[in-house]
Amino acid sequence: MNEQNLPSVILVPGLWLGGWAWDDVAAFLPHDTMSVVALTLPGLESQTALRDGIHLADHVGALVDAIRKATGPVILVVHSGAGALASAALDQTCDKVRRVVYVDTGPVADGTIARPDLPPDTTEVPLPPWTELETGGASLAGLSQEMLQRFQARAVPHPAGPLLEPVRLTNPARNQVPATVVCCSVPSAIVRQLADTDGMFALLKDLTDLTYTDLPTGHWPLWSAPQGLADIIAQATTPPRLRRLRRRPARPGRHHRPGHARLTTRESLDGPTAVSDNRIGEATSAKSAPCTSMWPRSGWQPARSCSNVDGC
């Protein structure tokens, strides 16, 4: 395949993290069939990076620039607080993105403010203690002591500007970009039920082509289940027709294991379609709507505002 036609996978971490956070996942991705870019957003380059004066537009702009520079169809992968950035970037670039993968996160609404509880003069938000994260709903399940130590050592205070400013959305075509929601902290069966309410998952109803995939682990599968997450991302780079051709038959008696992904449902304009029981399964049919132009309480809340530890 011509290198310019290879899918471009853009990996965007959540709060306090740089592109390094995707290293474990990137190691399992097939780099011969895709190009991979792990973003470090402005103000998160190092402990000494300038964070005062960083705005939401800076983070959205960095992501939009990465999407527009990609030479192949883009698979946008966002974790946790980066769900809001995905909504803002898709608002401008949905014609360039083949699929968006929400990892324990999801889309947000116009006007969403990640941390309206912060004093307006706040310049940065440091990584909270583990107990505070877990109280806010960000599960640490699957993280070893070594992983936690690495997290704490490499985490960088998050610029407050992007957390204090509202997301502005004007292009409904962003909802037509095919989406995969990777459910880690909350099982997909519960997410689907909650999506039918007016609560925190309600915006999923606006997506015209939606796939749910379960990856049972904590809020940071980038480290607790990197191979399972890499498998989901790799599958997302493959057009649906080819994915159906490559499906492996389900093996009777095979039970689901933590850290291994399983596609559970797929939604399209025509409603749910048939579902495979494969470890990394694929629906037997689906309709992709063309583009015309998390998850815990602390990870994502697609309301107009949220005041959680880990942003929106």
265 pLDDT higher than 70:
no
Q: With 80 as the cut, is the pLDDT of residue 281 above it?
A: no
Q: What is the mean pLDDT of residues 133-152?
A: 95
| pLDDT value at 227 more than 50 | yes
pLDDT at position 299 over 60: no
Nearest Cα to Cα of residue 175 among 86, 60, 299, 77: 86
Q: What's residue 165's pLDDT?
A: 98
Rounded distance between C-alpha atoms, residue 266 and residue 285, angstroms: 9
The mean pLDDT value for 291-300 works out to 36
- φ/ψ (deg, to 5) at 212: -100, 135
- Label residue 161 by pLDDT band (50, 70, 90): very high
- Range with lowest mean pLDDT among 159-168, 169-178, 246-255: 246-255
User: Which of 72, 295, 108 shows the shortest CA–CA distance to 207?
Assistant: 108
With vertex at residue 216, the alpha carbon angle to CA 7 and CA 73, rounded to the nearest 5 degrees, is 10
Q: What pLDDT is stored for residue 284 in this prediction?
A: 26
Name the pLDDT band for 241 (thresholds 50, 70, 90).
low
DSSP 8-class letter at 35: E
- Sheet of 8-12, strands arranged across: 35-38, 8-12, 74-79, 97-103, 179-183, 210-214, 262-267
The rounded percent of the chain whose pLDDT value lies above 90 is: 70
Over range 182-191, report the average pLDDT.
93
Average pLDDT over residues 14-40: 97
Maximal C-alpha separation, the chain: 58
Residue 259 confidence class, pLDDT cut points 50, 70, 90 = low
Least confident of 209-223, 242-256, 292-306: 292-306
- Cα 81 vs. chain centroid, distance in angstroms? 8
- pTM for the whole structure: 0.81
Cβ neighbours, 10 Å, residue 73: 16
Average pLDDT score over residue span 1-7: 73
pLDDT digits (tens, 9 = 90+) for 56-79: 999 999 999 999 999 999 999 999
What confidence score (pLDDT) does residue 292 get?
33
In the block, which residue shows the tokens 């607790």?
A: 224
Average pLDDT of the chain is: 82
At 60 the three-state DSSP class reads helix
Residue 17 has, within 13 A of its CA and on its CB side, a CA count of 24
Residue 277 pLDDT > 70, yes or no? no
CA 183 to CA 15: how far, in whole Å? 18
Residue extents of the structural domains in the chain? 3-267
Does domain 3-267 fall under CATH 3.40.50.10810? My reply is no
Q: Tell me whether strands 97-103 and 158-159 are parallel, antiparallel or unpaired.
A: unpaired
Neighbours of 54 (CB within 10 A): 21
DSSP annotation string for 254-283: PPP-TT--EEEEEE-TT-------STT---
Q: Percentage of the chain surpassing pLDDT 70?
A: 75
